[in-house]
Structure 1
């Protein structure tokens, strides 16, 4: 019996294992013509698996709950193949997928030697995903791992994800591994682990925006919501899960800088790390800005520990002087073991 290629890119190959067979996409058809007025309907796991092979720029809508629990036995145990076009050089999804509130249940991807892993490989800058629900998913990869996609450059709105997500190298997130697009009104529950990982996204960079989103995720990595955010924005969002890690560990995000903005956001989970450990942010690099934000969880660490920010390299860049809940905004707690943030009440 042959096995699947561990890479998420290149030739699209689906193989069989035991009594569970991955689909032959040449035999999978869809109702609808794939336009906005007549989208392709997705009702089965076979249709879900083959949609980018069918047409990467079409409009799809989910029309029923899809049970994907059998995918753990596809591809010699590799599971569901991340959705990507078969054409060399085209690895992104540039169409639309509307989940309509239906669930995708029990999705399994087990590619521990492969980079760029998720249900979709890459959402292009014209790609749009809405009202998508992943329930009890299990996604494992080497690097850049997400439940919905490894990378989002387009829009993900009104999505909900639960499950376990892990990577051996940076970075993992319940929604995506890397975000340079828009993530809005999304939520996640479960567990995420790996260096540079976050409860919602691994890395929020460049033009990445996370808005009105929440993570209730236990993270072993860097941030309760995002592993890091460089030049990105996190607006009106929060994280409640416990975060453990080593360096640059925060209840909301581990590290921000390069013009990154955090506004109207908070974290309530306990944070444990070694150095640069903060209730909200582990480390603020040059030109990171934080306003109208707070943290309430216990913080445990050894070096550079703060109830709000563990390490503020940016001087005046952490602009929370008169915002509510900003105790310890300037304080660096060298070799302190625990700080419980207190509310100013002003």
Structure 2
């Protein structure tokens, strides 16, 4: 991975290994895709669990990720006993933009989204997800873009197409976002599903 992770010189993501390496590199840095990525090989990673989402509930992604309009295809995540599942598992004060995911196959327990499982105070714009996103627990909170958008989260100019499936009763399911409650402030503009 080239670059220094600053706004002026972001880390450059050119393959699926670079994408997975974000977690070990710096969760509070700037990243940018340089080309399309076929993530088909993730279906064999981690004894069938697939890609390990970037950021967790204890160590959220707090940086910036610019997909540059490129496409990540065939991303596979099969973690039915884990929460905060998506390309990014958990984010806080992050900016994620211009990301296209196609032919995804994402399964998690709860807080499951195509782009982010659990997004807190996060800005997500110009993103698109096509494929299958599944939650297995009754806590649910599953969305095509974000499973649980908490804090003050903004989702704009995003779209989804495919299957968003809750396999347990009581789940909160949405084409864009799964759930929003309490003092959380969610703004969704110019999106479709």
* TM-score in terms of structure 2 length: 0.90
Q: Contact (CA 8 Å) 1:117, 1:146: kept in 2 or not?
A: yes
1:147 aligned onto 2:117: no
1:143 and 1:31 map into 2 onto residues whose CA distance is 34
Match of residue 122, structure 1, among 68, 90, 93: 90
1:108 and 1:99 map into 2 onto residues whose CA distance is 18
**Which residue is equivalent to 1:185?**
157
1:38 and 1:114 map into 2 onto residues whose CA distance is 34
2:142 and 2:185 map into 1 onto residues whose CA distance is 19
**Which residue is equivalent to 1:58?**
29
Q: Which runs of 5+ in 1 are unaligned?
A: 1-29, 216-346
Match of residue 162, structure 1, among 117, 125, 130: 130
**Which residue is equivalent to 2:72?**
104
1:199 aligned onto 2:169: no
2:91 and 2:32 map into 1 onto residues whose CA distance is 16
Q: How does 1:76-115 map to 2 (within 5 A)?
A: 76-84=47-55, 90-115=58-83
TM-superposed CA distance for 1:52, in Å, is 2.5
2:53 and 2:135 map into 1 onto residues whose CA distance is 15
2:110 and 2:90 map into 1 onto residues whose CA distance is 14
TM-superposed CA distance for 1:90, in Å, is 3.9
2:2 and 2:50 map into 1 onto residues whose CA distance is 26
Q: Which runs of 5+ in 2 are unaligned?
A: none
Secondary structure at 1:110's aligned position in 2?
strand
Secondary structure at 1:163's aligned position in 2?
strand
1:113 and 1:178 map into 2 onto residues whose CA distance is 17
TM-superposed CA distance for 1:123, in Å, is 1.4
Match of residue 104, structure 2, among 137, 145, 159: 137
Q: How does 1:186-265 map to 2 (within 5 A)?
A: 186-194=158-166, 195-205=171-181, 206-215=184-193
1:116 and 1:90 map into 2 onto residues whose CA distance is 11
Greater RCO (CA < 8 Å, at least 6 residues apart): 2
Secondary structure at 1:51's aligned position in 2?
helix
Greater Cα radius of gyration, structure 1 or 2: 1
Secondary structure at 2:111's aligned position in 1?
strand
Q: Contact (CA 8 Å) 2:55, 2:91: kept in 1 or not?
A: no
CA RMSD of aligned residues (A): 1.3
TM-superposed CA distance for 1:141, in Å, is 1.0
1:43 aligned onto 2:21: no
* TM-score in terms of structure 1 length: 0.51
TM-superposed CA distance for 1:84, in Å, is 2.1
**Which residue is equivalent to 1:172?**
142
Secondary structure at 1:204's aligned position in 2?
coil
Secondary structure at 1:122's aligned position in 2?
strand
1:62 and 1:198 map into 2 onto residues whose CA distance is 27
2:106 and 2:54 map into 1 onto residues whose CA distance is 13
After superposing on structure 2, the runs of 4+ consecutive aligned residues of structure 1 that deviate more than 3 Å are: none
1:96 and 1:193 map into 2 onto residues whose CA distance is 29
